[in-house]
C-alpha cells in the first residue's frame, strides 16, 4: 500500500469509527411499562395517552443523555402479580429495557417492588396505592409517584371531622388498598374526634359487591355519615342502589377517588351530589403548568384528561428528569439521582422524598355535583403530598423494622 493510500484508508477508518459513536448514542432508550390494561381500561387508556404525550414532548425537546429518544414497551399484567413478575424478567432479559416502571393495582405493585429488590434493578411505581410499596415492603430500588392510601385518607379526614358526625359507617373493598385506607381514616379521625363511633363496616370482595345487601346493612346501622372506598364498577352499583333506597339522603358521605373522571363519568344520572371526595377538577385548575398540559392533551386526543392521564404524563417527566440527572440508566446512579429529585407535573413541581422514595405529587379535595346529566367535581383544593405523610419516626420504623 502506498503512503497516500495508507493515509486515506486510515482517515476513512477514523471517520467511520467517529461516526459509530454518536450512532450508538442515538439508540432509543427502552422503558418497560407493566400495567393492568385489560382489567382497568377506564384508568389505563387515559394513563397511556398521558404517557405518550409526555414521551413525545421529551423526544421533541431532544430526548435524554445527549439525544437518545425514549421508547416504551407496554405490557399487560392481567391484574396478576405472578404474570407481572414474569413479564418484568422478560423485559429485562429479552427486550433489554433499561428501566422498569408502571403498575396501578396494589398487589401487583407489591410483587414488582419485591422483584426490584431481588433483581437489584431500579423500579418506578407509577400508581399502586398501597403504602407498603414505599414503607413496610419498601426498598432502595423502588420509588413511587402517586400518593398512597395514608395520604388519601389524610387529605379528607379534617373535612370529615369538621362535619361533627359521631356515628360513621365504612364501605371498602376487601383487599390491601381498602383495608389500609379505612385503617388510616379511623386512626386519624379518632385523634381529631375522640368520641367518634364506627357503627358498621361492609367489606365486599373487589369487583363482586352485592350492593343490595351492603346498602341494607349500612342503612340498618343508622349512621350519621359514611366513609366509602369503593371505586369502579363497585362504586357504580353502590351509588345506584344507594340512591334507589335513599341511603345517602340526609347523610354526609366522604369518598376516596370518586371525584376522578374515570369513576364519575360512568355514574351518569346516579352520580352523587355533595359528597366530599378526592379527585381531579380538571376544568377549574388554571395554573400555567396545568393549562399547558390540558391544551396539549386536547390538541392531541380531542378529549379532556383524566387523573390517570396526569399520572402517566408525570411518570415520564420524572423518568426523564431522573435519567438526565443520573447521566445514565445504571441502577446505582438512578437510585442516587432520584433522592430528592425535582420534576415537573401538571399539578406543579414535585420531588421524591429521600426518606421513603415517595413523591410529593398532591391530591385535590372537593365536593361532587351533577351537571348536564353527569357527575362532576367542579372545584377542589390542592394539598401538597408532603403535607399528608406520617411523622419521620413512623416512616423509619416501617421501613426498618427491628
pLDDT band at 305 (very low <50, low <70, confident <90, very high): very high
Task: Give me the percent of the chain exceeding a pLDDT of 90.
Answer: 87
272-304 pLDDT, tens digit each: 999 999 999 999 999 999 999 999 999 999 999
In which element (H, E) is residue 225 found? strand 225-228
pLDDT band at 396 (very low <50, low <70, confident <90, very high): confident
Domain limits of the chain?
25-148+286-361, 150-284+365-387
- Cα 89 from Cα 119, distance rounded (Å): 9
Backbone angles phi, psi at 2, to 5 degrees: -70, 160
Identify the CATH assignment for 150-284+365-387 out of 3.90.320.10, 3.30.70.60, 3.60.21.10, 3.40.50.2300. Answer: 3.40.50.2300
* Angle in degrees, 0-180, between the axes of helices 288-301 and 41-60, rounded to the nearest 10: 100
44-79 pLDDT, tens digit each: 999 999 999 999 999 999 999 999 999 999 999 999
306-351 pLDDT, tens digit each: 999 999 999 999 999 999 999 999 999 999 999 999 999 999 999 9
Domains 25-148+286-361 and 150-284+365-387 share a fold: yes
* Angle in degrees, 0-180, between the axes of helices 307-326 and 331-338, rounded to the nearest 10: 110
- Cα 365 from Cα 152, distance rounded (Å): 9
Q: What is the architecture, at CATH level 2, of domain 25-148+286-361? A: 3-Layer(aba) Sandwich (3.40)
Cell of 110: 407489591
- Cα 153 from Cα 146, distance rounded (Å): 14
105-160 pLDDT, tens digit each: 999 999 999 999 999 999 999 999 999 999 999 999 999 999 999 999 999 999 99
- Cα 338 from Cα 323, distance rounded (Å): 9
Interstrand relation of 142-144 and 123-125 (parallel, antiparallel or unpaired): parallel
Q: What 3-state DSSP class applies to 343?
A: strand
7-19 pLDDT, tens digit each: 444 444 444 444 4
What lies within 8 Å, CB to CB, of 133 at 6+ separation is 106, 109, 110, 113, 125, 142, 144, 148
Q: What is the mean pLDDT of the chain?
A: 93
178-210 pLDDT, tens digit each: 999 999 999 999 999 999 999 999 999 988 999
Residue 401: per-residue pLDDT: 65
More confident residue, 358 or 26: 358
- Cα 156 from Cα 255, distance rounded (Å): 8
- Cα 165 from Cα 250, distance rounded (Å): 12
Q: Is the CB of residue 130 less than 8 Å from the CB of residue 109?
A: yes
Cell of 295: 391544551
Cell of 96: 433489554
Q: Is the CB of residue 180 less than 8 Å from the CB of residue 137?
A: no
Amino acid at each position: 500500500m502506498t503512503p497516500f493510500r495508507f493515509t486515506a484508508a486510515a482517515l476513512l477508518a477514523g471517520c467511520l469509527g467517529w461516526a459509530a459513536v454518536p450512532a450508538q448514542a442515538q439508540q432509543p432508550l427502552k422503558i418497560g411499562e407493566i400495567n393492568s390494561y385489560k382489567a382497568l381500561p377506564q384508568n389505563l387508556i387515559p394513563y397511556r395517552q398521558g404517557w405518550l404525550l409526555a414521551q413525545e414532548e421529551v423526544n421533541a425537546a431532544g430526548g435524554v443523555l445527549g439525544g437518545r429518544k425514549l421508547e416504551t414497551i407496554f405490557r399487560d399484567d392481567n391484574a396478576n402479580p405472578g404474570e407481572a413478575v414474569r413479564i418484568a424478567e422478560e423485559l429485562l432479559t429479552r427486550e433489554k429495557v433499561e428501566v422498569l416502571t408502571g403498575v396501578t393495582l396494589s398487589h401487583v405493585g407489591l410483587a414488582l417492588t419485591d422483584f426490584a429488590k431481588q433483581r437489584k434493578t431500579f423500579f418506578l411505581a407509577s400508581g399502586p396505592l398501597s403504602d407498603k410499596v414505599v414503607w413496610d415492603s419498601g426498598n432502595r430500588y423502588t420509588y413511587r409517584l402517586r400518593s398512597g392510601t395514608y395520604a388519601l385518607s389524610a387529605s379528607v379526614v379534617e373535612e370529615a371531622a369538621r362535619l361533627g358526625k359521631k356515628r360513621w359507617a365504612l364501605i371498602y373493598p376487601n383487599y390491601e388498598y381498602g383495608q389500609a385506607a379505612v385503617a388510616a381514616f379511623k386512626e386519624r379521625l379518632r385523634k381529631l374526634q375522640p368520641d367518634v363511633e364506627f357503627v358498621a363496616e361492609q367489606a365486599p370482595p373487589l369487583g363482586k359487591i352485592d350492593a343490595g345487601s351492603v346498602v341494607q346493612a349500612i342503612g340498618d346501622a343508622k349512621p350519621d355519615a359514611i366513609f366509602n372506598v369503593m371505586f369502579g364498577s363497585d362504586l357504580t352499583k353502590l351509588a345506584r342502589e344507594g340512591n334507589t333506597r335513599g341511603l345517602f339522603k340526609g347523610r354526609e358521605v366522604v369518598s376516596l377517588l370518586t371525584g376522578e373522571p374515570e369513576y364519575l363519568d360512568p355514574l351518569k344520572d346516579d352520580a352523587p351530589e355533595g359528597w366530599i371526595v378526592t379527585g381531579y377538577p380538571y376544568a377549574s385548575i388554571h395554573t400555567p403548568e396545568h393549562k399547558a398540559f390540558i391544551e396539549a392533551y386536547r390538541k392531541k386526543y380531542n378529549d379532556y384528561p383524566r387523573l390517570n392521564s396526569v399520572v402517566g404524563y408525570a411518570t415520564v417527566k420524572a423518568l426523564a428528569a431522573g435519567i438526565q440527572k443520573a447521566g445514565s440508566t445504571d441502577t446505582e446512579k438512578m437510585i442516587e439521582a432520584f433522592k430528592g429529585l425535582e420534576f415537573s407535573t401538571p399539578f406543579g413541581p414535585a420531588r421524591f422524598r429521600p426518606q421513603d422514595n415517595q413523591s410529593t405529587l398532591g391530591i385535590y379535595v372537593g365536593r361532587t355535583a351533577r351537571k348536564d346529566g353527569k357527575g362532576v367535581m367542579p372545584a377542589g383544593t390542592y394539598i401538597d403530598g408532603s403535607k399528608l405523610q406520617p411523622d419521620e419516626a413512623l416512616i423509619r420504623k416501617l421501613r426498618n423494622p427491628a
